Amino acid sequence: MIVGNLPKEPLKFIKRCVVGGKLLWTYHVNMRMDNRHISRQTIIESVESYEIIEEYPDDKYLPSYLVYALHEKAVVHILFGVDVYNENVRIITAYHPAKEQWNGDLKRRK
């Protein structure tokens, strides 16, 4: 169900889009992921561990969600833009969180 331009259950929406292959990779993320040693496979395979840690409903182009993911014992943060009307997500950026900027669980900013 859609509430305005926001999914009623954003985590379920994001997971459904990723599992269904309804995801778009932004130019920015394509440029950055290789340097950050994060593969597309990492993002897709970690879908079951996704946890929303920050929400940006009024982001510039699309509402977005910062997601915590765990892949082979490595934590990755993924910023997803959600396009509810076209039923897809856009991966805006992905990175390994810096311990000096995040609390011990890497889910809350210091």
- The residues spanned by each domain of the chain are 8-95
Task: Report the top-level CATH class of 8-95.
Answer: alpha beta
Going by their DSSP bridges, the two strands 64-71 and 23-25 should be labelled as unpaired
Average the pLDDT over 51-67 and give the result: 95
pLDDT of residue 4: 54
Q: What is the pLDDT of residues 61-103, one digit of tens each?
A: 899 999 999 999 999 999 999 999 999 999 999 999 999 999 9
pLDDT of residue 1: 40
| Global pTM value | 0.93
